[in-house]
Structure 1
């Protein structure tokens, strides 16, 4: 059970599940997900592999293309496990058929259990995280080449 929660804790993977859930064809190609989410193909593929390994998505190959769809069974098992906690946290609040409370802040997509929704609401703003990460990466890019060049130069001489 913990593996499923770890997998769906990542916002990109939740977004991918949302895209797959909303697919009118029942399945979506990697290229369509890249376009819809505006993230790179390697990023989408990496997260889809994690979802596939956790049994949350199915894949169908056709030539060089891969089409993904949601496998609801693991999510239903997680929902069943979470239902008593959701009921305890929100007594009298009707749950949808899957037993989950939708996350209004994220708009349409995969509904999240109330405990995960509360955790997501406490996360820092995505823009702030991106800005901070960008600054750290830029600083690292400026600091790393010197020591690496020195180390490589030292090996070549030795």
Structure 2
């Protein structure tokens, strides 16, 4: 199984998930690849590559309609992230831990989250590679 943290460490994939979350409230038919490309300003091959990663992690579902594909978010796998994150919030805030709301992050916070996510993914890769070299 793909590590959910590796999947959401990428900013483009998080942007796709946020777009699908917003669109889910507007329309339950899913969002086409063309709409994602248009909204995010990312090339179609790049969007398709990221959607495959999200599909493999069960973070999105796809509905086929002829040649078109419509994607919807599947938030259940994100519970693993929530389960991991909650103890940190409880430790930091005790009984005063804030409710977590599904809102887009402000630009500064989103950038910080992306930097931390990339650093975590890079560190994991470095440690995994080192362990493989040492035969562990």
TM-score of the superposed pair, with normalisation by structure 1 = 0.62
Gaps of 5+ in 2: 118-136
The residue number in structure 2 matching 1:135 is none
The residue number in structure 1 matching 2:129 is none
Aligned positions of 1:58-97 closer than 5 A = 58-91=61-94, 92-96=96-100
Gaps of 5+ in 1: 124-158
Q: Deviations over 1:106-140 (max 9, x none)?
A: 68xxxx8xxxx7543569xxxxxxxxxxxxxxxxx
Question: How many residues are treated as equivalent by the alignment?
Answer: 114
- Out of 59, 65, 76, the residue aligned to residue 56 of structure 1 is 59
The higher radius of gyration belongs to 1
1:118, 1:87 → 2: CA distance?
Answer: 21
Give the alignment's Cα RMSD to 1 decimal: 2.9
Q: Deviations over 1:52-93 (max 9, x none)?
A: 001110000000000000111101232122211122234424
Question: Quick one: higher RCO (CA 8 Å, sep 6+), 1 or 2?
Answer: 2
